[in-house]
Structure 1
Amino acid sequence: MILVMGSRGVGKSLFINTLVGGYVAQVGDGITPCMYLIHDCTTTCLLVPTRISRSKVLLIDTPGCEDYNHPEKSVVCAQICRTLAHQYQRGISLRGIIYLQRMPQAQEPEITSPESLLTMFQDICGNSRAFFSNIILTTIGWQLPEFEESIAAVREGEICKSWTQILTHG
């Protein structure tokens, strides 16, 4: 089981659809979550069973998690934890997390602070340094026209610097 996480509108559903090669998670055109089969998008996860190579994989499309310290985000974390617990009871354990981070545009602050992201990962996975090596932090949005090569290099450095605390855990 792999969680696919990131801010609202970052492209989690599109990422999953691309990975599985089909249309399994509804993709929105804005920042409002619109996953299908979900009554309350902000508190429900979408389970997407698929195969990667010869392995069965259960991807979990999660609600957006912008500011983990916001009171509503504890509801999101609780939903993710309930989903994980239910799958664990079925013999399916969490094997990894893919976290999608949109590259910030000029003068745009990061949406999720590294500290709140680390707290969220610890709440979901515990403090196991071994598990932190199963978290993939990835950036998207490089194809946007305002990203010249020199600007992209600076932004990448800023992101890596802000993720240092997380990277040292795994």
Structure 2
Amino acid sequence: MKHRLFVGKAKRWEKEFRHVDPILRDARSTDIVIPVMGPTGVGKSTFVNTLYGSTVTTVGHGVSSCTAALQPCVLPAPVGAFEGRRIIIVDTPGFDDTYLDDSEILRRIAAWLAMSYKKEMKIAGVIYLHDISQPRILGTVTKNFGMFRKLCGDEILSSVILGTTKWGQTDHKSEKRREHQLREKSDWKEMLEKGATMHRFLDDHDSAWDMVNSVLQRTQEVNALYIQHELVDMEKLIPDTDAGRHLRGELEKILKTVRSREGHPQRGGATEQKTMEDIQKVHQSLQYLKIPMSRRILIYLGIA
């Protein structure tokens, strides 16, 4: 009965991507997929464009995101073992996107990954980017990294590249100190101990390709990201995945914080109207991530 539910979801996802994603339309079992993840403004699109040596995805400036949708691109395969196969680099939106709410971002990423897995496209690994010029770990960075961990799961950590970007924008001594802190005193330490590797993206072709080649060398070790197993093999709904439950918890914390501002003057000139808009936006995201009991019963009976 659950299989009928997944077939219905898969048809909706396929219809959504059929007209806008020629790569999924022409999916091949020999395709190698490498998602690029990280917060808005970290330099994901710059990284992808540097790989190609030309502009294939739009680069944003400041904190505004230009990657509102996933942007998969076919990367010319290097000569050798991968010659003749397509390498798909997927530029993904951050979970602090300025134009989309977080639940919609999760839906788009999850749906694309589920369809690619259903079509037998192979995940080679994941590249996660972090801005080394940031003097401290911000809340949005923590949220993005938490979602990244839930999307990937622990089984594929040996095929994860943790990349640092925006070198040279502050003094080198501070950058080296932050790199050491990431390696020894953050959530990265556990991932590195489980096989992830750390690289620097220096805004040049060679450092970008070093990261991709590091992923490709481990291709045989990866089957799928955990959310792909959840959606396709376990036939879960997105709100019931680890990533969905994690995002719901994060949004509930944010909603509690925003509601505490009601009726109080805000530093920086925030208005009551802005507070209400923030509450409404977070509430809408939470509604998507909650499955009504009536629907859960229908799902259980296999008729939803």
Shorter-chain-normalised TM-score: which range?
Answer: 0.7 to 0.9
Q: Which residue is 2:176 aligned to?
A: 153
Does the C-alpha gap of structure 1 residues 81 and 169 become closer, same or farther in structure 2, counting only changes over 3 Å?
Answer: farther
Q: Which residue is 2:95 aligned to?
A: 65
Report how many residues are paired. 152
**Aligned-partner SS, 1:2:** strand
Q: Distance in 1 between matches of 2:154 and 2:137?
A: 28
Do 2:94 and 2:144's aligned partners in 1 also have CA atoms closer than 8 Å? Answer: no
**Aligned-partner SS, 1:133:** helix
Do 1:47 and 1:61's aligned partners in 2 also have CA atoms closer than 8 Å? Answer: yes
Matched, 1:47 2:72: yes
Does the C-alpha gap of structure 1 residues 63 and 116 become closer, same or farther in structure 2, counting only changes over 3 Å?
Answer: closer
Matched, 1:29 2:61: yes
1:98 to 98, 103, 127: 127
Q: Which residue is 2:51 aligned to?
A: 19
- Describe how 1:128-147 pairs up with structure 2 within 5 A: 128=155, 131-144=156-169, 146-147=170-171
- 1:147 aligned partner, one-letter code: D
Q: Which residue is 2:110 aligned to?
A: 81
Q: Deviations over 1:11-56 (max 9, x none)?
A: 1111101101221101122221124xxxxx1xx2111112231332
Q: Distance in 1 between matches of 2:167 and 2:75?
A: 27
Once the 2 structures are TM-superposed, how far is the Cα of residue 168 of structure 1 from its aligned partner? 3.0
TM-score normalised by structure 2 residue count? 0.46
Give me the CA root mean square deviation: 2.3
Q: Distance in 2 between matches of 1:66 and 1:157?
A: 26
Q: Distance in 1 between matches of 2:103 and 2:61?
A: 26
Which blocks of at least 5 consecutive residues in structure 2 are unaligned? Answer: 1-32, 196-304
Which blocks of at least 5 consecutive residues in structure 1 are unaligned? Answer: 36-40
Q: Distance in 1 between matches of 2:178 and 2:152?
A: 28
Q: Distance in 1 between matches of 2:149 and 2:178?
A: 26
Q: Distance in 1 between matches of 2:157 and 2:104?
A: 23
Does the C-alpha gap of structure 1 residues 168 and 116 become closer, same or farther in structure 2, counting only changes over 3 Å?
Answer: farther
**Aligned-partner SS, 1:9:** coil
TM-score normalised by structure 1 residue count? 0.77
Q: Deviations over 1:117-158 (max 9, x none)?
A: 2x4244323331xx11111001111111x313x322211111
My pick for the range that moved more, 26-35 or 15-24, is: 26-35
